[in-house]
Structure 1
Amino acid sequence: MTKEVNPTDPATIPKFVDELPKPVTVKPKYYKGPQRKDYYELKMMQAEHCFHEDFPKSIIWGYNGLYPGPTIEAKKDKSIYVRYQNQLPSEHFLPIDFTLHTANDSQEVRTVTHLHGANVDWESDGHPEAWYTRDYAQTGPNFKKEIHEYTNHQPGTTLWYHDHAMAITRLNVYAGLAGFYLLRDTLEERINLPCGDYEYPILIQDKSFNEDGSLFYPDEPPFPVPVHPSITPGFVGNTIVVNGKVWPYLNVEPRKYRFRFLNGSNRRGYIISLSNDEPMIQIGTDGGFLTAPQEIQSVELLPAERTDVIVDFSKFEGQDITLINSDEDFFDEHTKVIMQFKVCLPLKCEDTSEIPERLAVSMDLHPHDANTERHLPLSAATDDFGRPMLLLNNRMYHDPVTEKPTLDSIEIWNFINATPFDHPIHLHLIQFKILERRPFNMELYQNEDRLEFTGPPENPHIYEQGWKDTVKVEAGKVTKIIMHWKDHVGHYMWHCHFLEHEDHDMMRPILVMKEVPPMQEPHTEIENHEIEHSPKQNHGDSTIITSNNEHTVPLLNNIQNITPTHASVQTTYLEDEIEYIPQTIPLLTSAQNITRPTKTAYSENNVEYNQLSKPFLNNTKNIIFSKVEHLEHHKVSDIESIPQPTHSSAEFQTRQRISPRHRRRWF
């Protein structure tokens, strides 16, 4: 390692010194069954990887020990089998939070692979509770099979596979368990796109490193919590890693190239463009080709989103063009740079590739064909340890399933984002179309549970107009999507793809059913109070959980001006002759969200904390505190500055591990 290079300090790390590697393409091991279907075996292994030529090698987890994992190439409607073998050590090298759901009762190292964006039977989907340990010694409650079958019954597109194990997805993916899955079809064969050496899958991630070049991941949030190690609400690294290399370069010829961009970060978003302001030609999104190519100056990608573009370097021979990130949420002078293209290679042969006028046949879904329309709020809460958490439909992961589409139905889902943050929401199994976004009065919605729009509907961005499996649900807006539930029934997921949010209960089950279930009898008791329920469904209602029973109540954070004193005195209120318990939801960051005077409860290390009341959702009377931020700009973030470690990696790993005999003391 060069003496001046400090992996913890991005200012000391030279850029564009490592060449961008192209992930290797894995070949089938053999053919299986009478139809001779391709069979693959990928081993999840611990290995050493060099992220930068001036870094020592770092421990990673990779499929076949590679970072990123090998690319699987498949053909539309030709089934393949894949076995993902867990050959990992018994202990994780990143900090495990044993307080998260099921983590304390599960093995420390467990894995299950999800093929993201695939139309697949649920038993091969990679359900988070279908995890397994090394050599299948132990398995999760939803584990069904060792070998996954992918029928590939969908248009050609850029998919990716990654770990999806319950409560540790953020750690396993950060450690390296991700790879490309390229599905090709006859349309791609007919059109003359750049291919072979001129087609690159590009995985964009962010990382931080310890002084010895090993991966750094925080073992606690940037505010005091009573547990350690602990999940953090969000984490962004201070360097950009592309296909496993820190700020790499790619030597290119003066001709057209096809790039399949994937945001594989835990939390960071990117707005990608070229430094010379030249446009890119977008040809596809998450779900496959667009109906026609379109010229774009930039494209925004939140985690898990993909875009398929063509860049023509023919006019820029001898120039260096930087791929830049202009997402202002978390970027700085270093993370605004992604990689560099050096147009320095001679043209090997004439570029005969083309950009066709038309691509895929239009297959739009129309709102008037929808069978069901759902209204699903995104809301904030705290867990039993006072840590911020975010919820879908005001429910936690293990609450009873509420989204039960029927086979061959068309549904519209309205995501009502009442949190201060944008969220990338991913639905398993299906591809959908974004219909619109519409701003609403957040204060009125939070206080009175009344949805009042404050502006006209907004069309999806130009780069979002194809089929999608992940959508940016913007803060303060209702995002409307439409989808067709076809081909498969069973247990699937929908969740936020900010992985720290996903692991901390921002994930909900979906049950796709063959036919409409009979009307269920409502619960009749809640803490000894007799109540009545209307049989009419209201997908926008909220839920509190008491004694494992589910009850519909107005939105959790609709009671305004309830202080801790008020909460202890004013114990109930009436609405429609039903008695409810008031509650408040603490704010994730305090500076921009304070709507009424608050008093400082205490100070610690010159940091002020405000006293907030505990939401009833967690059934606890403890007082929790919210950090008071004094920010210069009015910007809301679920991530605060996390200092890089100054101690050695070995000391860091020892410090963040918790002995087994203490793991249950928090329960």
Structure 2
Amino acid sequence: MKFSRRKFSKLGLMAGVGLGIPLGRTAGPVGRLVESATVTSPRVEQFEAPLPVPPVLEPSRTDETTDYYEITQQEGTVEILPGYETTVWGYNGLFPGPTIEARSGREVVIEHRNELPVPVSTHLHGGVTPPESDGFPTDLILPPDLSVEDLPGHISGTVAGISHGSKEYTYPNQQRAATLWYHDHRMDFTGPQVYKGLAGFYIIRDGIEDELPLPDGEKEVPLMIADRTFTDDGEMYYPSVDPSLMGEHGVLASTSFGPHTGVFGDTILVNGAPWPRMEVSNTKYRFRILNASNARTYELAIEPSPSEGNSFVQVGSDGGLLSEPIRHDKLLISPAERFDVVVDFSQYSVGSEVTLVNRRGTGRVSDVMRFEVVREEKEESEIPAQLAPELEFPSPEDAEVTRRFFFLAGVLGGMSTINGNGYDPERIDANPRLGSTEIWEFDADPAHPIHMHLVHFKVISRDGGPPGPYDAGWKDTVFLDGGNVRVVAKFTPYRGKYVFHCHNLEHEDMMMMANFEVV
């Protein structure tokens, strides 16, 4: 049955009123409306901080088939705003966390130890991962001194059960080279825990990519873009109903954030630095761009634009390299999407200042970072016309089932829903057969970045027409700015229970998530 938007608007009102959900609650079946004071970050001079690059983590040991890592999730103190100390919850106490560099076909095992005061669950976003290592929202790692009886609410529907103190995650990496990322995925509290710093890059490499003459070394740079708000003393401000994250979940109501829109910050960070600057030569650079914001979508552009050609040459998407490069003058990137692009600074003379801007922002959030062209160098890279072998997408003609899902943000603080239902970790909303191909049709009101675990998919239509300019390649997250998108996916290689959800993290915590089980 296909629902009209009018019918779903009524369902949204029912979710907020008919199910007895008091106004202002952002997730869960009960709540209250609490107004919050406006918080404005201390003023920071833009383009003063140098761009940091997250360190690459070394394995603790290796054997013939596997690289082993150890990561401790813990509090750390870092200087994000100049002159201020900020407490973060980070992987090894860092924000962003350390980068994991893996090889396609070589297994990675990561032991995550939890020294935070709250439960955690770690998801490798974009990973083709067995269900027990996928970071199911109730597969929690508890702090060593916390018992299940101390947890808020009832924890149910686990895939791999509850762990105490630590857990090993196994990633086979039987997939193409791609830019992935790992982040917290705890049910009801993903938003605040990612906001506090639990996010890091996970980059898979393979022989096909190794052979390409794309920029590499210091000219291949990951860019994690995220917005945050800070208090007067430099601490991150997330408007939690319960700042301990151990009681009632949800966010406070405000004019700048809330249950319908998600949490927006007033300070743009790139790799954990506010509006940084990066010195470059007049050559090509490869940027692995990740939108790690909770709710903000960016329309990235370069000012001034190059005198010839396009600002960005896209070479990869969520699931890895494209078959052929695509040229863009701007990039629309919603939360959790990745764009692998090359920028050619040979179009600018030495001494030029080139700004990465956000055309969806106003005021200070309309700027992201600045590049300073400081030296001439010989160009040693190029963008080949053929990047990866022709991508073998599943054919819509082979689809056994077409499923339809409508994503509706909570009305007046009510529960957010998929097909009128809030999240239940025990309910199965789809049961694709192992190895089968299916078409999933997503409708959204208003705007939602939709993420599927386990599989990568191809966008086959948008609003009844062809895919949009940013839909190319293998995707695991697709942005719906209202409207309709149809995708085709093959459900392989694992049986088990996974989730799909909106990656506006406040919407996710407001129950805009559902389970599918590959049978």
Fold shared per TM-score above 0.5: yes
Alignment match of 2:294 (pick from 239, 253, 266):
266
Q: Give the structure 2 partner of residue 407 of structure 1.
A: 434
Alignment match of 2:473 (pick from 453, 466, 479):
466
Paired letter, 1:372: V
- The yes-or-no answer on 1:504 pairing with 2:513 is no
SS at match of 1:408: coil
- The yes-or-no answer on 1:285 pairing with 2:317 is yes
SS at match of 2:75: strand
Q: Give the structure 2 partner of residue 343 of structure 1.
A: 373
| Alpha-carbon shift at residue 473 of structure 1 (Å) | 2.0
* 1-structure distance, mates of 2:323, 2:387: 5
Paired letter, 1:407: L
Q: Deviations over 1:189-240 (max 9, x none)?
A: 111111111111000000111011111112459xxxxx89745311101110
| Alpha-carbon shift at residue 366 of structure 1 (Å) | 2.0
Paired letter, 2:81: H
Superposition TM-score, scaled by structure 1 size: 0.65
Q: Give the structure 1 partner of residue 137 of structure 2.
A: 128
Give the direction of change, closer, same or farther, for the CA distance of 1:197–1:393 in structure 2 (3 Å limit): same
Q: Give the structure 1 partner of residue 123 of structure 2.
A: 114
Q: Deviations over 1:261-302 (max 9, x none)?
A: 000000000011101123211000001111101211011111
- The yes-or-no answer on 1:212 pairing with 2:233 is yes
| Alpha-carbon shift at residue 363 of structure 1 (Å) | 1.3
The question of whether the paired residues in 2 share the 8 Å contact of 1:11 and 1:334 is answered with no
- The yes-or-no answer on 1:495 pairing with 2:501 is yes
Paired letter, 1:75: R
Q: Give the structure 2 partner of residue 25 of structure 1.
A: 56
* 2-structure distance, mates of 1:11, 1:335: 14
* 2-structure distance, mates of 1:509, 1:479: 19
- The yes-or-no answer on 1:485 pairing with 2:518 is no
1:615-654 equivalences in 2 (<5 Å): none
Q: Give the structure 2 partner of residue 416 of structure 1.
A: 443
* 2-structure distance, mates of 1:391, 1:60: 31
Paired letter, 1:480: R
Alignment match of 1:313 (pick from 339, 342, 345):
345
Q: Give the structure 2 partner of residue 300 of structure 1.
A: 332
The question of whether the paired residues in 2 share the 8 Å contact of 1:296 and 1:463 is answered with no
SS at match of 1:488: coil
Q: Deviations over 1:645-665 (max 9, x none)?
A: xxxxxxxxxxxxxxxxxxxxx
1:545-560 equivalences in 2 (<5 Å): none
| Alpha-carbon shift at residue 364 of structure 1 (Å) | 2.5
* 2-structure distance, mates of 1:255, 1:164: 39
- The yes-or-no answer on 1:46 pairing with 2:75 is yes
* 2-structure distance, mates of 1:155, 1:133: 33
Larger of the two Rg values belongs to structure: 1
The question of whether the paired residues in 1 share the 8 Å contact of 2:250 and 2:510 is answered with no
Q: Give the structure 2 partner of residue 79 of structure 1.
A: 107
Pairs aligned (count): 451
* 1-structure distance, mates of 2:86, 2:410: 37
- The yes-or-no answer on 1:392 pairing with 2:418 is yes
* 1-structure distance, mates of 2:480, 2:145: 37
* 1-structure distance, mates of 2:402, 2:486: 10
Alignment match of 1:434 (pick from 440, 449, 459):
459
* 2-structure distance, mates of 1:271, 1:436: 21
Comparing 11-20 with 312-321, greater Cα deviation is found at 11-20
Give the direction of change, closer, same or farther, for the CA distance of 1:371–1:229 in structure 2 (3 Å limit): closer
* 1-structure distance, mates of 2:76, 2:43: 26
The question of whether the paired residues in 2 share the 8 Å contact of 1:323 and 1:338 is answered with yes
The question of whether the paired residues in 2 share the 8 Å contact of 1:10 and 1:334 is answered with no
The question of whether the paired residues in 2 share the 8 Å contact of 1:85 and 1:135 is answered with no
Q: Give the structure 2 partner of residue 186 of structure 1.
A: 207
* 2-structure distance, mates of 1:78, 1:380: 40
* 2-structure distance, mates of 1:325, 1:228: 31
| Alpha-carbon shift at residue 333 of structure 1 (Å) | 1.6
Give the direction of change, closer, same or farther, for the CA distance of 1:123–1:364 in structure 2 (3 Å limit): same
Give the direction of change, closer, same or farther, for the CA distance of 1:473–1:228 in structure 2 (3 Å limit): closer
* 1-structure distance, mates of 2:214, 2:506: 37
Q: Give the structure 2 partner of residue 325 of structure 1.
A: 358
Paired letter, 1:396: G
SS at match of 2:363: coil
* 1-structure distance, mates of 2:283, 2:443: 44
The question of whether the paired residues in 1 share the 8 Å contact of 2:297 and 2:334 is answered with yes
The question of whether the paired residues in 1 share the 8 Å contact of 2:318 and 2:474 is answered with yes
- The yes-or-no answer on 1:14 pairing with 2:23 is no
| Alpha-carbon shift at residue 428 of structure 1 (Å) | 0.2
SS at match of 1:283: strand
The question of whether the paired residues in 2 share the 8 Å contact of 1:113 and 1:126 is answered with yes
Give the direction of change, closer, same or farther, for the CA distance of 1:415–1:42 in structure 2 (3 Å limit): same
Give the direction of change, closer, same or farther, for the CA distance of 1:380–1:60 in structure 2 (3 Å limit): closer
Q: Deviations over 1:158-206 (max 9, x none)?
A: 0000000111100110000000000001111111111111111000000
Give the direction of change, closer, same or farther, for the CA distance of 1:407–1:142 in structure 2 (3 Å limit): closer
| Alpha-carbon shift at residue 138 of structure 1 (Å) | 4.2
| Alpha-carbon shift at residue 368 of structure 1 (Å) | 1.0
Q: Deviations over 1:488-507 (max 9, x none)?
A: 11010000000001011101
The question of whether the paired residues in 1 share the 8 Å contact of 2:282 and 2:347 is answered with yes
Give the direction of change, closer, same or farther, for the CA distance of 1:396–1:339 in structure 2 (3 Å limit): same
Q: Give the structure 1 partner of residue 406 of structure 2.
A: 377
| Alpha-carbon shift at residue 132 of structure 1 (Å) | 1.5
* 1-structure distance, mates of 2:65, 2:319: 27
Paired letter, 2:237: F
| Alpha-carbon shift at residue 394 of structure 1 (Å) | 1.5
Q: Give the structure 2 partner of residue 150 of structure 1.
A: 171
* 1-structure distance, mates of 2:145, 2:288: 34
Give the direction of change, closer, same or farther, for the CA distance of 1:381–1:62 in structure 2 (3 Å limit): closer
| Alpha-carbon shift at residue 480 of structure 1 (Å) | 0.6
The question of whether the paired residues in 2 share the 8 Å contact of 1:407 and 1:512 is answered with yes
SS at match of 2:208: helix
Comparing 460-469 with 479-488, greater Cα deviation is found at 460-469
Q: Deviations over 1:407-441 (max 9, x none)?
A: 00000011122x2x110010000000111122xxx
- The yes-or-no answer on 1:276 pairing with 2:304 is yes
Give the direction of change, closer, same or farther, for the CA distance of 1:74–1:500 in structure 2 (3 Å limit): same
* 1-structure distance, mates of 2:221, 2:104: 20
CA RMSD of aligned residues (A): 2.0
Alignment match of 1:359 (pick from 371, 387, 400):
387
Give the direction of change, closer, same or farther, for the CA distance of 1:126–1:219 in structure 2 (3 Å limit): closer
| Alpha-carbon shift at residue 346 of structure 1 (Å) | 4.6
Mark the runs of 5 or more structure 2 residues left unpaired by the alignment.
Answer: 1-37, 149-154, 243-247, 253-257
Give the direction of change, closer, same or farther, for the CA distance of 1:128–1:219 in structure 2 (3 Å limit): closer
SS at match of 1:471: strand
The question of whether the paired residues in 2 share the 8 Å contact of 1:374 and 1:412 is answered with yes
Query: How high is the sequence identity, in percent, across the aligned residues?
Result: 37
| Alpha-carbon shift at residue 315 of structure 1 (Å) | 2.7
The question of whether the paired residues in 2 share the 8 Å contact of 1:282 and 1:463 is answered with no
The question of whether the paired residues in 1 share the 8 Å contact of 2:442 and 2:484 is answered with yes
| Alpha-carbon shift at residue 400 of structure 1 (Å) | 2.2
| Alpha-carbon shift at residue 389 of structure 1 (Å) | 2.4
